[in-house]
């Protein structure tokens, strides 16, 4: 069974926390677990997180969001192009073969590999 991670990093690209999801689930399902007890000024996400409900939630809590609009969004929306930070984090994680293949038998063993890789990347 393959899995995917939805990750939260700090401003220098270090992994703060992540949520493991089944590969067929949508990334938005991880938001409640990922953002619980979190205080920040700005979140940078990819276009999978471009939903009106999520943007409204960020606006109500005073969190700035950098989310590029999906191609099917009807109206234009301004955003900064800082998204490369998140892509860099996943590129660092994928340097390690065990984390890139995602074929661990249990969620716990997959999460352990991600924690181990994050520790090695942070120690560089």
Query: Which fold does the domain 3-123 belong to in CATH?
Result: Nucleotidyltransferase; domain 5 (3.30.420)
The closest of 68, 85, 65 to 77, measured between CA atoms, is 68
What Å distances lie between residue 113 and 8, 29, 66, CA to CA? 16, 22, 29
pLDDT tens digit sequence for 3-58? 788 788 777 777 888 888 887 777 777 777 777 777 777 777 777 778 888 888 88
pLDDT tens digit sequence for 59-71? 888 887 777 788 8
Q: How far apart are CA 106 and CA 26, in angstroms?
A: 20
Q: How far apart are CA 96 and CA 113, in angstroms?
A: 9
For CA atoms 15, 21, 23, 26, the dihedral sign is negative
pTM to 2 decimal places: 0.67
């Amino acid at each position: 069974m393959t899995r995917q991670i939805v990750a939260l990093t700090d401003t220098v690209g270090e992994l703060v926390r992540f949520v493991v999801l089944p590969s067929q689930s949508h990334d938005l399902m991880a938001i409640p677990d990922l953002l619980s007890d979190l205080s920040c000024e700005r979140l940078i996400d990819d276009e999978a997180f471009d939903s009106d409900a999520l943007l409204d939630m960020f606006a109500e809590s005073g969190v700035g969001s950098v989310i590029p609009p999906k191609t099917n969004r009807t109206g234009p929306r301004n955003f900064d192009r800082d998204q490369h930070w998140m892509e860099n984090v996943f590129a660092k994680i994928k340097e390690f073969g065990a984390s890139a293949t995602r074929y661990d038998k249990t969620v716990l063993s997959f999460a352990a590999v991600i924690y181990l890789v994050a520790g090695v990347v942070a120690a560089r």
